[in-house]
Structure 1
Amino acid sequence: MTLLRERPDRRQAAPSGGGGLLRGLLMTARPKQWVKNVLVIAAPAAAGDLFSAHALTRLALVFVLFTACAAAVYLVNDARDAAADRAHPTKCRRPVAAGQVPVPVAYATGITLGVLAPVLAARLCPPEVAALLTAYLGMQLAYCLILKHVLVVDLVVVTTGFVMRAVIGGLALGIPLSRWFLITTGFGALFMVAAKRYSEAVQMAGTAGATRALLTEYTTGYLRFVWQLAAGVAVLGYCLWALEEGGVPHTSVLPWRQLSVVAFVLAVLRYAVFADRGTAGEPEDVVLGDRALALIGAVWVAMYAAAVADW
C-alpha cells in the first residue's frame, strides 16, 4: 500500500519556471508538424516561380503566418481536450494534459496567435491570403468543437487543411492553380488522412472510444476503402497532369515530367505499406522516419524540379 501511495502520478507535471512554460507552449504548437506548412511552396514550385527574392520573402512570411494559425488551433484544441488526452497512452504526455501548461494560458496564447496572424496577413499580403487564413481558423475551430464528431466530415476537414496549405502559396504570389494540381493535392492528402485514421483504428481497437470517439463509428474496412480510393485518384490525377504537359515542346535531355510519375507512384506504394500495416501515424513521421520513402521523395523532387526548369 505504501508503494502505491508513493508512486508519482505521471499525468502531473513537475513544477516548472517560465522556461518550462515557454517550452511547453512551444511543444504544444507541434514543431514537428510545421513541416506540413512547407506545402505553401507547392504551387509556386509547380509554376517555376520560386527562387526570386520577392517569392522567397512572401512565402517565408506566409509560412510563418500559417504556422501561427496552426499553432493557435493546436493550443485551443489541447486546452479543450486536456481531460480526454489524459486517457490516451501518448497524448497524456502533452504539456497541457500533463499540467505543464495551464489551460487558461493555452487558451489565451492560442486566441492571441489566431487574431494576430490574419491581421498581419491583411496588412502584408494580398487580401485572399488573410481570407484563407481566417477560413482555416474558422474551419479548424469548428472541427475542434463539432466537426471532428461528424462521420466523413472530419476526414474532409483535415484534408482541406492540407489543400489550404498548398493553395495559399499560389494566392500569395497570384499564381493560377491547375485542376490537376488541386486533384492530386486533395486526394493525396485524403490518402494520408484516411491512412492515419485507419492506423489509429487498428492500434486502438477496443479502446478507441476513450481517445477518439468517432473511431468507434468507422470500420477498418471503410477506412481502408477510403485510403485506397484516394491513393488511386491521386495517382491518376498526377499521371494525367504529366501526360497532358508532356505534349508541350521541351528542350530537356530527358522527359522528366513523365519520368516523375515513376517516383510519385513508388512513393504512394511505399506509403501504402505503412497504411496497410496500420502504422501510418503522422504523415511527417512516416516520411521522415523511413529512409527509403525519404529517398524516393528526394528523387521525385529532383525530377519535378528538372521538369519545371526544363533541364
Structure 2
Amino acid sequence: MTETAPLTGGARTRETALLEQRAPQRHTPPPRKGSFLGSLLRGLLKTARPKQWVKNVLVVAAPAAAGQLFTRHALTQLALVFTLFTACAAAVYLINDARDAEADRAHPTKRHRPVAAGQVPVPVAHAVGGVLAALAPALAAWLVSPVVAALLTAYLGMQLAYCLSLKHVLVVDLVVVTTGFLMRAMIGGVALGIPLSRWFLITTGFGALFMVSAKRYSEAVQMAGKGGTTRALLTEYTTGYLRFVWQLAAGVAVLGYCLWALEEGGVPHASVLPWRQLSMVAFILAILRYAVFADRGTAGEPEDVVLRDRALALIALVWLAMYALAVANW
C-alpha cells in the first residue's frame, strides 16, 4: 500500500478553496422588519409603565364618593377619562426617559430601560410622547369637556416641569407628586360635573402626601450609608424631616376623614348602622398599618404595599364595604 504524499502549501490552499466552494454556504438572514417593529412596540409599552396605570383608577374616587358611579354615562365617561389620563402619564414617561437616556445608561438598574438600552430610539420616544401629550387633551376637549382638557394640560405641564427641574427642588418635588395623585382623584368628578367636597380634597391630598413622603423616607433609610442614590435630592433631605412630613400628613388625613364622617353621618333612620362613623375605624387602622411599613423603611410603591400585606388588603376591603354602605345609605 502506498501512502498519499502530504500536500504542499500551495496545493493545500487550492484544495481548501475548492472544498469551501463545494460546501453549502450559510447566510445569516437579515433582521425581519416585523420583529424590529414588534420589539419597538414592546419597548414603547414597557416605557409607558403599565404597572403604574393602576394609580389612574383614582379617577373613580369622586364619583364613588358621591354615589354616582354605576350608570352607563358615568362608566363610559370614566373609562374615557382613565384612558386619556393614562396616555398623558405615558407621554411623560416617554419624554422623561428620552431626556435621561444618557444618564440612565450609567445607572446599574435604569440602563435596562428600553430607551437607555437602545430598544426604543430617543427620537422615537420623543415623538411618541409628544403625540400623546398633544392628542390626549385635544380628545378630552372633544369627547369630555374643556375643563377636563385643561386639567390634563395642567397635569402634563406640571409633570414635564418636574422632569426638567422641579424634581431637584426641595419640598416642591413632594408637592408635585402629591398633586398628581390629587388630580387623578379630582378629574372623575370634574368630568361628571360632581361638586368636590372640601373633606374629600383634604383627605385625598394629605393621604397622597402621606404615601409619597413615606416612600421617600423608605428610600432615604435604605440608601443610608451607601455611596449612591437613585434620587439625587434624597441627599438633601434628612430622614427626620421626611418622618415628620409623613406623620403630619397621616394626622391631617385622619382628621379630615373623621370630620367628614361626623359631619355627614347620613340621613337619620335611612341606614341600618352608622356606616360613615364606623368606617373611621377601618380608615384609621389602614393608616396605622401602612405606617408600620413607613417606620420600617419598607414603604415602596403604595400599590405594592397594599397588595403584599394581607392584613392591610383586608382592612382596605372592609373600609371599602363600609364606605359603599354609607354612600348607599343602606
Using the size of structure 2 for normalisation, the TM-score is 0.86
- Structure 1 stretches (4+) deviating beyond 4 angstroms? 206-210
Q: 1:266-292 deviations in whole A, cap 9, x for unaligned?
A: 111111111111111111111222222
Match of 1:137 among 150, 153, 156: 156
Q: Which has the higher contact order (CA 8 A, sep 6+)?
A: 1
Q: 1:241-296 deviations in whole A, cap 9, x for unaligned?
A: 00101164242111111111111111111111111111111111112222221111
Q: Retained in 1: the 8 A contact 2:94–2:129?
A: yes
Over the residues paired in the alignment, what is the CA RMSD in angstroms? 1.6
Q: Would you say 1:85 and 2:98 are equivalent positions?
A: no
Which residue pairs with 2:17 in the alignment? none
Between 1:197-206 and 1:177-186, the stretch displaced more is 197-206
Q: Retained in 1: the 8 A contact 2:140–2:149?
A: yes
Q: Would you say 1:107 and 2:126 are equivalent positions?
A: yes
Which residue pairs with 1:21 in the alignment? 40
Q: Would you say 1:47 and 2:66 are equivalent positions?
A: yes
Q: State the Cα distance separating 1:84 from its structure 2 match.
A: 2.9
Which residue pairs with 1:62 in the alignment? 81
Which residue pairs with 2:93 in the alignment? 74
Q: State the Cα distance separating 1:70 from its structure 2 match.
A: 0.5
Q: 1:160-185 deviations in whole A, cap 9, x for unaligned?
A: 00000001001100000011000000
Which residue pairs with 1:215 in the alignment? 234
Q: Retained in 2: the 8 A contact 1:201–1:208?
A: no
CA distance in 1, matches of 2:227, 2:197: 39
Amino acid at match of 1:124: L
Q: 1:10-38 deviations in whole A, cap 9, x for unaligned?
A: xxxxx962212211111111111111111
CA distance in 2, matches of 1:207, 1:69: 35
Which residue pairs with 2:56 in the alignment? 37
Match of 1:191 among 210, 216, 238: 210
Q: Would you say 1:156 and 2:186 are equivalent positions?
A: no
> Structure 2: any 5+ residue segments left out of the alignment?
1-30
Amino acid at match of 1:79: A
SS of residue paired to 1:17: helix
Q: Would you say 1:278 and 2:301 are equivalent positions?
A: no
Q: State the Cα distance separating 1:127 from its structure 2 match.
A: 1.1
Which residue pairs with 2:113 in the alignment? 94
CA distance in 2, matches of 1:296, 1:86: 41
Amino acid at match of 1:234: A
CA distance in 2, matches of 1:108, 1:237: 43
Q: State the Cα distance separating 1:204 from its structure 2 match.
A: 2.0
Decide which structure has the larger Cα Rg and report it: 2
Q: Would you say 1:119 and 2:138 are equivalent positions?
A: yes
SS of residue paired to 2:264: helix
Change (3 A) 1:206 1:25: farther
CA distance in 2, matches of 1:208, 1:52: 54
Q: Retained in 2: the 8 A contact 1:136–1:164?
A: yes
Q: Retained in 2: the 8 A contact 1:192–1:227?
A: yes
Change (3 A) 1:19 1:80: same
Q: Retained in 1: the 8 A contact 2:266–2:329?
A: no
Change (3 A) 1:195 1:86: farther
Which residue pairs with 2:323 in the alignment? 304
CA distance in 2, matches of 1:295, 1:88: 38
Aligned residues: 297
Q: Would you say 1:295 and 2:314 are equivalent positions?
A: yes
Q: State the Cα distance separating 1:82 from its structure 2 match.
A: 2.3
Using the size of structure 1 for normalisation, the TM-score is 0.92
Change (3 A) 1:198 1:110: same
Change (3 A) 1:208 1:97: farther
Change (3 A) 1:200 1:224: same
Q: Retained in 2: the 8 A contact 1:208–1:215?
A: no
CA distance in 2, matches of 1:291, 1:263: 14
Match of 2:165 among 120, 129, 146: 146
SS of residue paired to 1:34: helix
CA distance in 2, matches of 1:208, 1:305: 48
Amino acid at match of 1:298: L
Amino acid at match of 1:224: R
Q: State the Cα distance separating 1:212 from its structure 2 match.
A: 1.4
SS of residue paired to 1:211: coil
> Structure 1: any 5+ residue segments left out of the alignment?
1-14
